[in-house]
Amino acid sequence: MGLNVIALGGNAILDKIPTDEGQKEVVRKVASDIIEFIELGEQVVICHGNGPQVGNLLIQQKAGDSEKTPMMKLDTNVAMTEGSIGYWIQQAIQNELQKRSIQKSVISVITQVEVDAADPSFQNPTKPIGPFYTKEEAQQKMANGEGVYQEDSGRGYRKVIASPKPKRIVEKDAILSLVAADVITVCVGGGGIPVIKNQDGVYEGAEAVIDKDLSANNLAKEINADRLIILTGVDNIYINYNQPDQKKLEKLTIEEAKQYIKENQFPPGSMLPKVESAIDFVEESQKREAVITSIENLSNIVAGFGTRIVC
């Protein structure tokens, strides 16, 4: 039995129907695939994204923003969506376990991830988040010291925030205890809540978001996982994607993957961080592998499906 860290994207959960029930329905299907994978003798720790969910929450808070019901800070919004999505996954897995008469526990853990206050992304924020504003509204907010706003794809202006690299999973020891007890653990949701440790050793929330694939990679290394699985919208990675000479990749060495990155084969906003996380994980140990594939293909990974990054 191998220990697997599974990274599930927030966009995969908020697929077509943004309602509470619509997202829960997607998670129910994911839970079924995860339990089928566990029935093959695999152990799992599950991470998830929350990009569209935290964006929607910020839009809702803006609509109701007032002196009595003020908008929450970003780290709190990340925690709120980490909790809600973790609850959906936890409940769906519990119900699936009961349906199959499997005696196993599952829990979701609100997880903090330490980042470096000196990370260059804090000086050069680039990650758009939350609602759109007019140019005039954005300029007023910047004049009020409410952050940096940039034009986004011709649709208006959005706040841009830092996306620092994760340094350390704060709750690592608790997660390791759960893994040792063979508890199905959901953690590091949305990349984890970004926190900075001050000079007194006290953690404080940061106005930032962390890439969930990078945090999943950190988690996999910190708990000594055997495999990192990054679930996305396609069964395999492709080069020359959507071109006549498109080619499916089934197995990649680290060197081949790095060469494709140099050739700009992987879009920065989607596949690139997934491939970079996979490379970094595999480089830590020649016995490990990373797999990038679709949710539906999860139970086929043991048989060799998906794109595998190996030494």
Q: Which residues are catalytic?
A: 10-11, 127, 212, 274
Residues 6+ apart with CB under 8 A from 47: 5, 6, 7, 8, 186, 187, 188, 189, 212, 215, 216, 219
Beta bridge partners of 128: 160
Locate 149 and state its tokens: 């706003």
Q: Which residues contact 66 (CB under 8 A, 6 or more apart)?
A: none
Collect all residues with Cβ–Cβ distance below 8 Å to 244 and sequence separation of at least 6.
Answer: none
Within 10 Å of residue 195's Cβ, how many Cβ atoms?
Answer: 20
d(CA 91, CA 45): 15
- Are the C-beta atoms of residues 167 and 192 closer than 8 Å to each other? no
Of 22, 19, 77, nearest to 50 by C-alpha is 77
Cα 214 from Cα 208, distance rounded (Å):
14
For 15, 17, 40, 119, 306, the CA distances from 20, given in Å and listed in that order, are 12, 9, 31, 35, 30
Pairing of strands 227-232, 3-8: parallel
Cα distance from N-terminal residue to C-terminal residue, the chain: 21
Beta carbons of 114 and 167 less than 8 angstroms apart = yes
Per DSSP, 165 falls in state P
